[in-house]
Amino acid sequence: MKSFLSLGIGKSAAILEAPKPASGILPHHEEESLANLWVDITKSEAGCSKIISEVRNYGEAIKSIQDAEEKLLKDLGSSALTAISPELRRATDEYLSVVMEMKPKSEETSSAVQQVMGDPLKQYHALYEHLDTLRRRRDAQLVVVQKCQDKLDRLKLKGKRTTDVIVERDSAKRHLKEINGQLLSEAKKFHSLRQPFLQPCIQAYVQTQVDYYGTANSQFSSHIQTSRGAHQIKDAEYDAMMGEHLRKIKSLKIVAT
């Protein structure tokens, strides 16, 4: 039972490998508990990797939107259409003022989403490496026990003395049970801490988005109201005028491409 996933952005994929089965060597309830818990951890770690990727994509998307709006306004400002249309020129200038006012907020939000969600998730995600080290120790000790058992079985078949091997095997089994118990305890702790660790991160992430979109909406709404008051245009006339501007904008080659 294996699941392939990245242990962090920029790192090569690693194997989130489940503990080797130890049927007949370790208690059945411990084996079943560890196997089920590892399935849950594997699913959660895969989800953690996906969230890390999505947070990065979201931050990049905010930057891309800001860059696209600035490019659009630059192209509009240099186009012949705004040169012959004072109304479109004025609308472009007003749009530019809002976009430039939003630029610091876009940069702040892009950085904030990484700080409140991306970085904490990567830090928690990396804690699995300690757990995996313990898992490898447990699997290595299981191999020791199996070798002792194989040696014991061969000696029995040959009718030779087995006392020393039995002592060696039992000692190895006790050590295995100790490591297995530690792995089970650490795995439960690791998995149980995920929700209280991530909840404030998610809340901060959502709050950052609300703040960003709330600021954008406020900026555009405020500027629209100011523009209407400055030009004394009725709502219907204003909507018709902006609709015509949007139609012209959409007809531009730079928009079509």
Query: Among 158, 191, 224, which residue terminates a domain?
Result: 191
Helix (H, G, I), strand (E, B) or coil at 24: coil
Segments forming the whole domain that contains residue 143: 129-191
Count of the separate structural domains present in the chain? 2
- What average pLDDT does the structure give for the chain? 83
Q: What's the confidence (pLDDT) of residue 229?
A: 56
What average pLDDT score do residues 180-205 get? 91
Statement to judge: residues 234 and 177 lie in one domain: no
Residue 89 forms part of a structural domain = yes
pLDDT for 14 beyond 70: no
Q: What is the DSSP letter of 206?
A: H
Q: What's the confidence (pLDDT) of residue 68?
A: 92
Q: Of all residues in the chain, what percent carry a pLDDT higher than 90?
A: 34
Statement to judge: residues 60 and 136 lie in one domain: no
Statement to judge: residues 65 and 75 lie in one domain: yes
Please, what is the Cα angle at 8 between 3 and 13, to 5 degrees? 40
Statement to judge: residues 91 and 115 lie in one domain: yes
What average pLDDT score do residues 210-217 get? 87
Residue 81 forms part of a structural domain = yes
What average pLDDT score do residues 203-215 get? 88
Q: What's the confidence (pLDDT) of residue 36?
A: 93
What average pLDDT score do residues 58-62 get? 91
Lowest mean pLDDT among 18-27, 165-174, 246-255: 246-255
Q: Tens digit of pLDDT for each residue in 142-163?
A: 999 999 999 999 999 988 889 9
What average pLDDT score do residues 37-49 get? 88
Residue 16 forms part of a structural domain = no
Statement to judge: residues 89 and 174 lie in one domain: no
Statement to judge: residues 163 and 54 lie in one domain: no
Query: Among 172, 191, 210, which residue terminates a domain?
Result: 191
Q: How far apart are CA 183 and CA 20, in angstroms?
A: 12
Cα dihedral 107/108/112/118 (nearest 10): 10
Statement to judge: residues 120 and 210 lie in one domain: yes
Residue 96 forms part of a structural domain = yes
Place of tokens 């931050």: 59
Statement to judge: residues 114 and 233 lie in one domain: yes
Residue 33 forms part of a structural domain = no
Other beta carbons within 10 Å of 133: 10
216's CB contacts (< 8 A; 6+ apart) are: 102, 105
